[in-house]
């Protein structure tokens, strides 16, 4: 049972990692149902450790058939089946879900658990005998479910994961009945056990949400009778058993009353931020002209500063200034 539980948990971990990788670039999703109806079928591996009492009874009956055989031919007729070593069944739950605030839910529901184990023995006269025991449960539960915040998810940006906490009550007709008798469970008002599960949103469409849940529950019940009342050579003490265990479930939720969905007007936002093509071209052209004028003015300013403020070069020093030049002599005039 422990090794099987480890395999299931490892498989769930692998599926979780794959799902996270696939939803890495998706958008945020919320369950918008205020009141929803849900149906939750699944498979459960019951923590019923008392199955050994029934297997011991079968072994005892088989041994009696062998001792009553008169010869080898009669002994060859004797045959038996053994009970399964794991009690698994397919429970189903249904109920109402209320959303108190965003991603916080309270649910009330009830379920039906049924596990029948049967074997056939053949005696020395080649006659068949059927022996069985059935575990039946009617649990009522109160559940609180909340979505794991997005900021706690390092590989996803969606509110896809949720954690559910449950408290169970055993209702009447929770019992064990066998080929030898029946045990009815007590139904205390304070409850019979707890449950814990983690869910993942697999699919959603409009008001329909489908979750996959993996969890564990412990629903311990007891009876005023003894196991000796329902199985040969059973213990002579008040019977106790557990109808909980490891559970793998599919939760189908349909919103009967939903919150209004606010759709943002992306067109208005785009219009407010967009710039007409003509105005943008004119603005760009004006900006380019202004930039060119600024560049030309900068060049002219740089030329003036260079001519007026720069020190004269050696060639300029050697050239005579207009004030230092001597006037040329007038040519001699001829006498008339």
**Average confidence score pLDDT of the chain:** 79
CA nearest to 114, candidates 245, 252, 247, 243: 243
Query: Any idea which of 106-110, 136-140, 163-167, 275-279 has the lowest mean pLDDT?
Result: 275-279
Q: Which pLDDT value is given to residue 148?
A: 86
Residue 333 lies in a domain: no
Q: Is residue 116 part of a domain?
A: yes
DSSP-derived 3-state class of residue 112: strand
Residue located via tokens 């479930």: 249
In a domain, 291, yes or no: no
Residue 122 lies in a domain: yes
Strand partners, 129: 121
Q: Is the pLDDT of residue 6 over 90?
A: no
Task: Tell me how far apart the alpha carbons of residues 2 and 52 are, in angstroms, rounded to a whole number.
Answer: 17
Q: Is the dihedral of CA 73, 75, 78, 84 positive or negative?
A: negative
Q: How confident is the model at residue 262 (pLDDT cuts 50, 70, 90)?
A: low
The answer to whether residue 293 sits within a structural domain is: no
- Summarize pLDDT for 43-75 with one digit per residue, the tens: 999 999 999 999 999 999 999 999 999 999 999
- The reply to whether 23 falls in a domain is yes
Count of domains for the chain: 1
For residue 261, being part of any structural domain is answered with yes
Distance CA 275, CA 270 (A): 10
Apex 163 CA angle, 161 and 166, nearest 5: 150
Find, among 84, 135, 107, the residue nearest to 249 by Cα: 107
* Tens digit of each residue's pLDDT (9 = 90 or more) over 174-216: 999 999 999 999 999 999 999 999 999 999 999 999 999 999 9
Distance, CA of 106 to CA of 100 (rounded, Å) = 7
In the prediction, which pLDDT does 307 show? 41
Q: What is the mean pLDDT of residues 274-293?
A: 48
Which residue segment(s) compose the domain that 114 sits in?
Answer: 2-266
Question: How far apart, in whole angstroms, are the C-alpha atoms of residue 80 and residue 58?
Answer: 8
Element (H, E) at 187: none
Residue 298 within a domain = no
């Amino acid at each position: 049972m422990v090794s099987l539980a480890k395999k299931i948990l490892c498989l769930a971990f692998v599926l979780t990692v794959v799902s996270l990788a696939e939803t890495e670039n998706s958008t945020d999703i919320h369950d918008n149902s205020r009141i929803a109806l849900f149906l939750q079928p699944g498979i459960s591996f019951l923590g019923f450790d008392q199955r050994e009492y029934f297997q011991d009874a079968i072994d005892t009956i088989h041994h009696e058939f062998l001792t009553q055989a008169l010869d080898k031919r009669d002994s060859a007729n004797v045959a038996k089946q053994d009970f399964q070593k794991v009690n698994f069944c397919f429970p189903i739950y249904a109920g109402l879900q209320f959303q108190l605030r965003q991603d916080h839910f309270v649910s009330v529901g009830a379920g039906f658990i049924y596990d029948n184990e049967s074997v056939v023995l053949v005696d020395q006269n080649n006659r068949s005998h059927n022996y069985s025991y059935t575990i039946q449960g009617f649990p009522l539960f109160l559940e609180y479910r909340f979505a794991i915040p997005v900021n706690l998810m390092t590989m996803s940006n969606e509110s896809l994961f949720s954690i559910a906490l449950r408290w169970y009550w055993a209702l009447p007709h929770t019992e064990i009945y066998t080929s030898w008798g029946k045990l009815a469970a007590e139904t205390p008002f304070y409850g019979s056990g707890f449950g814990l599960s983690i869910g993942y949103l697999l699919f959603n469409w409009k008001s329909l949400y489908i979750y996959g849940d993996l969890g564990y529950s412990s629903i311990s019940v007891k009876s005023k009778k003894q196991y000796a009342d329902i199985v040969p050579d059973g213990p002579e003490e008040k019977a106790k058993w557990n109808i909980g265990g490891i559970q793998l479930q599919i939760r189908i939720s349909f919103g009967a009353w939903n919150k209004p969905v606010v759709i943002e007007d992306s067109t208005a936002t785009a219009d407010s931020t967009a710039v007409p093509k003509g105005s943008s071209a004119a603005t760009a052209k004006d900006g380019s002209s202004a930039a060119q004028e600024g560049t030309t003015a900068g060049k002219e300013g740089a030329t003036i500063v260079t001519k007026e403020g720069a020190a004269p070069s050696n060639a300029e020093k050697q050239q005579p200034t207009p004030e230092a030049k001597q006037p040329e002599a007038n040519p001699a005039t001829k006498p008339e």
